[in-house]
Amino acid sequence: MQTTHDAVELVASPGCEIGENPLWHQDMAKLFFVDIPTGTVYAYDPARQDCSVFNRTRITGGFTLQQDGSLLLFQDGRIATLALDGTLRQVASDQCLANERFNDVIADPEGRVFAGTMGGNGRICASASTAPSRKWRTGS
């Protein structure tokens, strides 16, 4: 049985060490993604065929899009918002044990955010939901 697929086209090659977490931002019509170890958040604009650095911050294991359009970054022990004007604001600290960081984050249709952590040795340590606290919800 043969399957057909659409052609795949390389649209950007920013030289990421570990590029992950592609999320389409409907309002901005851009694809955001992160280079985890460098904490570089990129934005790809398909209309202009341009990939640029949106923000450089600290190690970022993943992010979600918030209702106001900002990004909710899950980093090396902290959670921060990154506004569309580039303003970074810490909303929680000391969220991981020593030598751990967030890795892989997703929001469900209800706006609840689920995040996993991993240690410096790559071992998956925990998974947690921010659902009990509405301040990290991505929806209403």
Q: Is residue 53 part of a domain?
A: yes
pLDDT recorded at residue 135: 46
Distance from chain centroid for Cα 49: 21
Q: Is residue 82 part of a domain?
A: yes
The domain in which residue 42 lies consists of: 19-136
Domain count, the chain: 1
What amino acid occupies position 113?
V
Q: Up-side HSE of residue 92: CA atoms within 13 Å toward CB? A: 16
Per-residue tens of pLDDT for the chain, all 140 residues: 677 778 888 888 899 999 999 999 999 999 999 999 999 999 999 999 999 999 999 999 999 999 899 999 999 888 999 999 999 999 988 887 778 888 888 888 888 888 888 876 666 555 555 544 444 444 43
Q: Is residue 29 part of a domain?
A: yes
The CATH number of the domain holding residue 98 is 2.120.10.30
Q: Is residue 2 part of a domain?
A: no
pTM over 0.95: no
Distance from chain centroid for Cα 1: 37
71 is written with which tokens? 């990004």
